[in-house]
Amino acid sequence: MTFEQLGLIKPILQSLSAEGYENPTPIQEKSIPTLLKGTDLLGCAQTGTGKTAAFALPILQQLQADPIDFKNRKIKALIVTPTRELAIQIDESFKTYGKHLPLKSTVIFGGVNQSKQVEILKKGVDILTATPGRLLDLHQQGFISLRDLKVFVLDEADRMLDMGFIHDVKKLLKIIPEKRQSLFFSATMPPPIQELAKTILRNPTLVEVTPVSSTAETIQQKIYFCETAEKKNLLVDLIHDNRMKSVLVFTRTKHGADKVVKWLLKNQITSMAIHGNKSQNARQNALNAFKKGEITALVATDIAARGIDIDELKWVINFEIPNIPETYVHRIGRSGRAGNEGIAFSICDPTERTYVRDIEKIIKKQIPRGN
């Protein structure tokens, strides 16, 4: 299957070709024809499955088919996502895939001064990617009109729930047109998310890819057991012994992430933390430094890491074992993207052994033991 066979137009195919995209991923193959017909979609998919292109490409194609009022652009597509990092990535994707089209997109998020965002909105945009708080805030101030909206995308719905944004989403549903195409994506489908999906979607097509319990075939996994006090030394040893130049390290808490960064710096391993207590700018700076190879380790909590999408990432270390087994799958899935090799190490102390048993149950295999 090629992108051409999915019925995409030439300007979009040109952009995909320039990015080196040859064949659609399973979610793109299943979603794009459905979305081009204008049908609602319920997508059960994780970050890293190619879902951004799965919705961005058909949105671009549909919007460019409409006459564009260049002097008075109206927001026709709205993508709502829980984190600033993810919002920025989605907007970058729209700009990349739509570079041969006359459409304009922008991104808005909290934690920074609103004036630049307002300036861009006043000039008019066709596609808006936003985090919920800033979106409602600017709408209330009269800087955003959603009256002409044609397509609404709710991305990472389960994270919205985790981060307490569901109330904002419900507020938003009251101000967008009832007649619209709706797309709803979530990596997991707990009952509150299923209920929310029912209120947003009309006769949706269900698309499921990579069930939560499956770990990418390209990722090698290994687990090391040690006493709690030995964990930090083992982390340093793993980074040094494997000559890691770029590693994503996971902790369960924000406080834990900061402690790990201090320890790594003390051991001459350049590192920065990314978590919810950091300002938006600090998070973005840490992510940029990591992508550019300026630091060796990026230490992250699970929620902060949801927006991290780095194709060439080889190494992931679970400094602390997650207490939700699906989270393990999400974490190690940050490596081994796009067919590249991925290696995930986990460091387990006696208090976390039950978590490991739960993980092995859902991935249906024992994680190889390290010495």
Greatest mean pLDDT among 141-155, 201-215, 242-256, 340-354: 141-155
Q: Is the pLDDT of residue 322 over 90?
A: no
> What domains appear along the chain, each with residue ranges and CATH number?
4-208 (3.40.50.300), 219-363 (3.40.50.300)
User: What tens digit of pLDDT does each residue of 262-297 get?
Assistant: 999 999 999 999 986 787 788 889 988 998 999 999
Distance, in Å, from the CA atom of 105 to the CA atom of 59, rounded to the nearest integer, reads 12
Amino acid in position 272: M
Quick one: average pLDDT of 7-33? 89
Which of 5, 18, 99, 20 has its CA nearest to residue 56? 99
339 alpha carbon, distance to own chain's centre: 18
Residue 371: Cβ-neighbour burial (10 angstroms; 0-12, 13-18, 19+) = exposed
Q: Any idea which of 96-100, 251-255, 276-280 has the lowest mean pLDDT? A: 276-280
Residue 71: Cβ-neighbour burial (10 angstroms; 0-12, 13-18, 19+) = exposed
Residue with the larger pLDDT of the pair 327 and 353: 353
In SS3 terms, 220-263 reads as EEEEEECCHHHHHHHHHHHHHHCCCCCEEEECCCHHHHHHHHHH
E strand residue ranges, the chain: 41-44, 77-80, 105-108, 127-130, 151-154, 181-186, 205-208, 219-225, 247-250, 271-274, 297-300, 315-318, 342-348
Q: Is the pLDDT of residue 303 over 80?
A: no
Provide the pLDDT for residue 258: 94
Q: Any idea which of 72-86, 87-101, 108-122, 280-294 has the lowest mean pLDDT? A: 280-294
Q: Any idea which of 62-66, 79-83, 136-140, 158-162 has the lowest mean pLDDT? A: 158-162
Provide the pLDDT for residue 211: 54
Q: What is the pTM assigned to this prediction?
A: 0.65
Quick one: average pLDDT of 75-81? 97
Q: Is the pLDDT of residue 47 over 70?
A: no
User: What tens digit of pLDDT does each residue of 137-180 get?
Assistant: 999 999 999 999 999 999 999 888 878 898 999 999 999 999 99
Confidence of residue 306 (pLDDT cuts 50, 70, 90): low
Which of 349, 124, 337, 146 has its CA nearest to residue 232? 349
The DSSP letter of residue 369 is B
Amino acid in position 10: K
Provide the pLDDT for residue 358: 86
Please give the share of the chain, as a percent, with pLDDT higher than 90.
63
309 by DSSP, 3-state: which? coil
Please give the share of the chain, as a percent, with pLDDT higher than 70.
94
What is the average pLDDT value for the chain, to the nearest integer? 90
Provide the pLDDT for residue 216: 59
Which of 263, 237, 235, 262 has its CA nearest to residue 249? 235
Beta pairing partners, 106: 128
